[in-house]
Every structure is written in structure tokens, then in C-alpha cells.
């Protein structure tokens, strides 16, 4: 589960670059009930997405040439050290490290297989203010070409616990759980995809967020009614819950999940 008592390696922030931030937030408002709040006059249009007044994500202007994908941030005690570690392990620093006023220090990164992510060194802002509730982030998934290579890379950066488990519906598939602090602190999973599967998803590995919902079917209907697409489901995943893989109107992928129990 994802929590807000962040520590080294915890997912702590989530944002999306958008060609039309207002329309993008409007879409997620229809699906997840989000509202919006400006990050301030000097933020360049960066906008907080809120639920009952608490920040659950953010949307900002897109960077030219960047595909429409959510970016997940992991906490680090030292963004500069993390950037150096990424480079030594074969990854790339795309931007930063840089200070965000007194809020913290960030760096945008790409792993050796091509998945983009970011690291956040907290200052005044620790991270998201609500998670693991309906309408908020409850899980993360890395879709990649090699689970083994991905685990090896990320464990050079963060002290993640790793647990491999059979993938529901595929007797030959394996799902790699990742987290910080044992079975109770697993915050995501790694899915290994074939080259053909990745090509259908844009060609490179990527992270996508999983948002909790109280009704996956109703939320999926809201996706379609608001101009998005449900590309898989809703379907029941034993031991997990009822889920739907979706794309927003600008093709950013995310998952809706009504957790089992």
C-alpha cells in the first residue's frame, strides 16, 4: 500500500504534463472527483489536483516532444546523489537536479530501459497529502522489457524489498512486487512485456499510476463518457480487486482499481 509517511524510495508525488491542463483536470474531475488549485503565480501554470482539499496529484504544461505519460516521483534524501547513481547505473538525467523554491529539490530521470521517473528531496513539501483512498493513488506499475534488469537498476537507487508472485490469469507470468518495509509496505509492481506489447503501448517501458475507486464499472463508464478510452476491463483480478486499464483523451495511461476487500 502507498502511505504518506514517506521515506527513502517511497512514491511521494505524481504529475502529468498536458497540452491543455484545464481540460485535463476536467477529465480527471469527471472520473475521480478531483478539484484544482493553482500552485502559485510563479508556478508557470503548474496546478495541484485536490480531493476534499488535499493534494492527490498535479498537472502542468507539457514539455515539447514528451509523450503524454504520468510521472512518478520517489523520495530521496539527496537528489544530487541519486542523479549520479542513475548515471553510473546506465540511466539518464533528463533535467535537474534543481530546487523548487523552499518546497524541495527534484531531478527528472530515465532508467536504462527507457522508463521515465523522478526523484524528490523534500523541503517544505513532503509529497502528496492523500493516498490509498477512493480517487487517489493506491499503486504503481512499471511496464518494462526486463523485470530482472529493472529490479537490478532501481535497487541501486532505493532499498526496495522485492517479491515475485504468479500473475493472475497467466500461469507462466510473474509479477514482481516492490516496496519499502516488507509485505505491508509494497507500493507497486513490475510487469514484463514483450517487444510487441510494448510497441502497442508506445515503444518504450513506462510507469503508470493506479487510482482507487469505489466502483470500477461506474468510473470506467465516466472515462468513456468524458472522451477517454477503457482499453482493458473492467475485470476481476483474484486477490487484487476489479480493475480497468484506461487512457485519457490525450493518451496518458492509468488504471482504475476497486480493491478487493
Model confidence band, residue 44 (pLDDT cutoffs 50, 70, 90): confident
| pLDDT tens, position by position, 78-90 | 999 999 999 999 9
For residue 223, give every residue at least 6 positions away whose Cβ sits within 8 Å of its Cβ, in sequence order, or none.
31, 229, 230, 244, 246, 248, 256
What are the boundaries of each domain within the chain? 11-122, 137-259
Model confidence band, residue 252 (pLDDT cutoffs 50, 70, 90): very high
Distance CA 39, CA 168 (A): 40
Which alpha helices (H) appear in 50-106, and where do they start and end? Answer: 79-88
Model confidence band, residue 64 (pLDDT cutoffs 50, 70, 90): confident
| pLDDT tens, position by position, 94-125 | 999 999 999 999 999 999 999 999 999 999 99
Does 19 score more than 60 pLDDT? yes
Q: What is the pLDDT of residue 15?
A: 97
| pLDDT tens, position by position, 169-196 | 444 457 899 999 877 789 999 999 877 8
Q: What is the pLDDT of residue 171?
A: 47
Residue recorded with cell 477529465: 27
Q: Is the dihedral of CA 47, 31, 109, 120 positive or negative?
A: positive
| pLDDT tens, position by position, 204-213 | 899 999 999 9
| pLDDT tens, position by position, 146-157 | 999 999 999 999
CA atoms within 13 A on the CB side of 48: 18
* Helix/strand/coil for 163: strand
Per-chain mean pLDDT for the chain:
92
Q: What is the pLDDT of residue 41?
A: 80
The CATH code of domain 137-259 reads: 3.10.180.10
Which alpha helices (H) appear in the chain, and where do they start and end? Answer: 21-32, 79-88, 147-154, 195-200, 216-225
The CATH code of domain 11-122 reads: 3.10.180.10
Model confidence band, residue 239 (pLDDT cutoffs 50, 70, 90): confident
Distance CA 193, CA 158 (A): 23
Q: What is the pLDDT of residue 168?
A: 52
Q: What is the pLDDT of residue 39?
A: 84
| pLDDT tens, position by position, 27-37 | 999 999 999 99
Amino acid at each position: 500500500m502507498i502511505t504518506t509517511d514517506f521515506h527513502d524510495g517511497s512514491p511521494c508525488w505524481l504529475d502529468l504534463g498536458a497540452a491543455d491542463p484545464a481540460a485535463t483536470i476536467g477529465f480527471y474531475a469527471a472520473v475521480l472527483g478531483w478539484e484544482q488549485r493553482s500552485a502559485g503565480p510563479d508556478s508557470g501554470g503548474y496546478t495541484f489536483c485536490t480531493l476534499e482539499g488535499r493534494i492527490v496529484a498535479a498537472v502542468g504544461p507539457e514539455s515539447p516532444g514528451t509523450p503524454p505519460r504520468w510521472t512518478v516521483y520517489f523520495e530521496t534524501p539527496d537528489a544530487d546523489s541519486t542523479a549520479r547513481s542513475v548515471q553510473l547505473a546506465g540511466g539518464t538525467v533528463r533535467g535537474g537536479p534543481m530546487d523548487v523554491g523552499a518546497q524541495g529539490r527534484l531531478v527528472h530521470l530515465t532508467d536504462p530501459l527507457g522508463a521515465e521517473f523522478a526523484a524528490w528531496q523534500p523541503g517544505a513539501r513532503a509529497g502528496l497529502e492523500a493516498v490509498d483512498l477512493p480517487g487517489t493513488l493506491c499503486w504503481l506499475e512499471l511496464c518494462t522489457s526486463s523485470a530482472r534488469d529493472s529490479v537490478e537498476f532501481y535497487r541501486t537507487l532505493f532499498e526496495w524489498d522485492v517479491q515475485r508472485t504468479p500473475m493472475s490469469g497467466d500461469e507462466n507470468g510473474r509479477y514482481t512486487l516492490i516496496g519499502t518495509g516488507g509485505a505491508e509496505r509494497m507500493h507497486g509492481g513490475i510487469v514484463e512485456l514483450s517487444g510487441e506489447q510494448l510497441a502497442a503501448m508506445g515503444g518504450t517501458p513506462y510507469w503508470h499510476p493506479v487510482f482507487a475507486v469505489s466502483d470500477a464499472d461506474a468510473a470506467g463508464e465516466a472515462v468513456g463518457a468524458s472522451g477517454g478510452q477503457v482499453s482493458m476491463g473492467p475485470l476481476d483480478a483474484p486477490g487484487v480487486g476489479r480493475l480497468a486499464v484506461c487512457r485519457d483523451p490525450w493518451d496518458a495511461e492509468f488504471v482504475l482499481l476497486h480493491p478487493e476487500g
